[in-house]
Amino acid sequence: MDVVVVGSSMTDLVSFTQRQPRPGETIHGNKFLMGFGGKGANQCVMAAKLGAKTAMVAKLGKDFYGDNTLENFQNVGVNKDHVSQTDEASSGVASIIVSEDGQNSIVIVAGANLLLSEGDVAKATELIGNAKVVLCQLEVPQATSLAALKLAKSSGVFTIFNPAPAAENLDADFYTSCDILCANESEAEMLTGVTVSDVDSAQRAAEMLRSKGCETVIITLGERGSVLTSAQHDGVLVPVSSIKAVDTTGAGDSFIGALAYYRALMPTLPLLDAVTRANTVASISCQASGTQSSFPTASQLPKDLMAAPVNH
């Protein structure tokens, strides 16, 4: 497999409104859609849509949402041999409000995702150990994500960790078990205590994260692009061309899924170029509503994004 994701899957229930409601307030929305989401599945589907061979290790409920999600994995070509259903919890759902400025707020009820265990990771040892890239987030138990990252790392697999949703007091081993840590402003802030509001503060937060042990840190800054920090990259801002955002839900997942695709299928593409390309893929996803449904396929992208790197 090119990309294996050990992580979450949700059904997104999305309401579109003029603005976000205030506490105690009821407002009218103007559109509703139901779609496939969850940070893990989103990242996996993004990589698959670009052409990666992908697999998910995930837990669903034995219900309508779970059945539909399995069908979706099948339709988009994500291997689901390690996706199981439990009758002990319902499938994960996310209630999402997208306002006219393209911003969103999300409540997740992770349900069955929280039953994805270290035992499930152990059952997928062969799959994880033979992947080119393994991706993890924090919508399943932390111990499960950490076990997957450690297993991958010990087999020499390239690992990308997305500490989302934001969590405090992460096990210190997370930092030494990932090759790339990719976080947005609020996640970086939660992990470091640095208020991330611009390139400068992103660089400071990234250095703190690097000092905890991760080689490469990418902090995504929404419409401003992302900041890349590693031994070779001194907190470089990788800008992204401006677009009119319709729905930014899952843009971070689109970025990470695309980044995983480039690491797995174009390993000689310099990281800075991979980040530049992934920025563009993510910005394209913001121009359509929905999460996975807004992710572009390889054939919908400008040719240069899919072009093989020129090696000197």
CB of 195 to ligand RIB, least distance (A): 22
CB 261 within 8 Å of CB 51: yes
Size of the site for Na ion (CB under 5 A): 3
Q: Which amino acid is at 179?
A: D
Cβ nearer to ligand RIB, comparing 35 with 225: 35
Please report, for residues 76, 148, 160, 255, the alpha-carbon distance to residue 274 in angstroms, rounded to integers and kept in the order given. 23, 24, 14, 10
Q: Is 94 in the site for ligand RIB (CB under 6 A)?
A: yes
Residue 39 or 49 having the CB closest to ligand RIB? 39
| Ramachandran class of 90: left when φ > 0, alpha when ψ lies in -120 to 50, beta otherwise | beta
Amino acid in the structure at residue 177: S
Which phi-psi region, left, alpha or beta, contains residue 157 (left: φ > 0; alpha: ψ -120 to 50)?
Answer: beta
- Is 253 a binder of ligand RIB (CB under 6 A)? yes
Window 247 to 276, contacts with Na ion (CB under 5 A)? 247
Asked if residue 290 belongs to a known ligand binding site, the reply is yes
Residues recognised as catalytic? 253
Q: Within positions 256 to 285, which residues make up the interface with ligand RIB, using CB under 6 A? A: none
Task: Decide: is 59 part of the binding site for ligand RIB (CB under 6 A).
Answer: no
CA distances from 52 to 55, 188, 218, 262 (A): 10, 28, 22, 9
From the list 7, 66, 102, 250, which residue makes contact with ligand RIB (rule: CB under 6 A)? 250
For ligand RIB, the binding residues in 34-53 under the rule CB under 6 A are: 37-39, 42
What is the DSSP-derived secondary structure letter of residue 23? T
Shortest separation between residue 176's beta carbon and ligand RIB, angstroms: 25
Residues belonging to the binding site for K(+) are 247, 249, 285, 288, 290, 294
